[in-house]
Structure 1
Amino acid sequence: MDILGLSTSPSSGGAYALILNEVHGNRRLPIIIGTFEAQAIALELEHIKPPRPMTHDLLKNMVQAFGAEVHQVFINDLSEGTFFAKIIYDDNGEEREQDARPSDAIALAVRFDASIYVDSEILEEAGIVSDSEHEGDLSATPKEQKQTEEMSKLEKLESELQTAIDTENYEKAARLRDEIQKLKS
């Protein structure tokens, strides 16, 4: 799986939906994650380095200091709507596993450039089949489709702006603010 993106999830009180995409297939897996975990994943995907190490950066540094490397993340269970994951890592030549929340495991995976796997039964149960040739609402008019695209672009820019502010990257924040104002006008 690879990370297709992050989006706000209005139905879950400000949490985010992390969307995983099947690399050799057409299924997607949405996982609801917290704001801090979403920020940790987004910062790494956008190659934004905060002035001080964030929690997952610290964890990566400690794992490496002990001579270990994360090789893969495996989302291996879904129970009562909760996903479970394992971090599979090499500890000085010995393969080990660590139980983790998928959001934390994926935040580490992006830092180690590790593979992300999902159990096929979980994809069957919770995955969404994507028809990439016919994405979106076919019944929408071109004007409605353009408004939807602009809204999702606006939401993405606003999320990036918040991340830039949180990481004290004020130059990027100013540029994003200007883009948002231009899009709104």
Structure 2
Amino acid sequence: MIRLKVYDVGPPYPLHATPVLWLADEQEEQVLILLIGIAEAFAIKSQIDAGEEPPPRPMTHDLLNSVFEHFDAEIEFVLISELREQQFYIAEIHVKSNGQSMTIDSRPTDAIALALRADAPIYVEEEVMRAAGKRMPKSKDENGEDALAASIEELEAEAGEEGKVPAAQVAAEELMESVEFKRQPRTPLETARQKLQAAIDEERYEDAARLRDEINRLEQSA
């Protein structure tokens, strides 16, 4: 397993419709790039921004962390364990309670938001990092566009004739748009990819399969 840290949640929301989560290894040499929802971005960003005012009432992840603490259940670590069908990530929350260990299935964003509140380490399986990890750009602001362009070309080569669109590719494309500080009109293919990511984030897998077929059709006709 490779230990990760939350490197950033961005770009800033006024510049970009979809937040992007950067998860870097401890040496900041490799990074996983995930498109996430706005609510999940707030839940994570509120824990990493120094001086951030806590919400007046507990948010969902605050509440769940309090439940774990109340029942003396310790979150030992969270693990991004799988990149399934080159489309979405699977995570696990590893908990110890009354001397027994248990594993809870989770979305990566929920697991990470909980880990930050419980001060628990975040890991990724090495094979997931090999499949989806990218070399960290020296500077996201100054050099991010060129580095991510190379990442997209590499991911397109990996997709091959099957036309699969890895989640990291969608994230990289979205991030490149934000680096340019402008939003271009979306093509049907871009719109379908955004809807696919939303379906994956919300675990609507039947919709995701339908959208993946639509993306394949649009790519073949392009």
Normalising by the smaller structure, the TM-score range is 0.5 to 0.7
Higher strand share: 1
Cα distance change, pair 18–25 in 1 and its aligned pair in 2 (3 A)? closer
1:74 — aligned with what? 79
Quick one: which of 28, 33, 48 aligns to 1:30?
33
1:117 — aligned with what? 123
Secondary structure of the residue aligned to 1:40 is helix
Q: Deviations over 1:44-93 (max 9, x none)?
A: 22243111000000000011111101111100001131001000111122
Deviation at 1:37, TM superposition (A): 0.7
Q: What RMSD over aligned residues (CA atoms) do the two structures have, in Å?
A: 3.0
Give the whole-Å Cα distance in 2 for the aligned partners of 1:9 and 1:84. Answer: 26
Give the whole-Å Cα distance in 1 for the aligned partners of 2:45 and 2:124. Answer: 20
Percentage of identical aligned residues: 34
* 1:105 pairs with 2:111: yes
* 1:57 pairs with 2:57: no
Query: Aligned letter for 2:37?
Result: G
Q: Deviations over 1:155-180 (max 9, x none)?
A: xxxxxxxxxxxxxxxxxxxxxxxxxx
Give the whole-Å Cα distance in 1 for the aligned partners of 2:59 and 2:140. Answer: 39
Cα distance change, pair 9–88 in 1 and its aligned pair in 2 (3 A)? same
CA contact (8 A) 1:9 1:15 kept: no
Unaligned runs of 5+ in 1: 141-150, 155-185
Query: Aligned letter for 2:40?
Result: E
Structure 1 residue runs of 4+, over 4 Å off?
A: none
Give the whole-Å Cα distance in 2 for the aligned partners of 1:91 and 1:2. Answer: 25
Give the whole-Å Cα distance in 2 for the aligned partners of 1:72 and 1:114. Answer: 5
Calculate the TM-score normalised by the size of structure 2.
0.57
CA contact (8 A) 2:137 2:143 kept: no
Q: How many residues align?
A: 141
Unaligned runs of 5+ in 2: 147-177, 182-222
Secondary structure of the residue aligned to 2:128 is helix
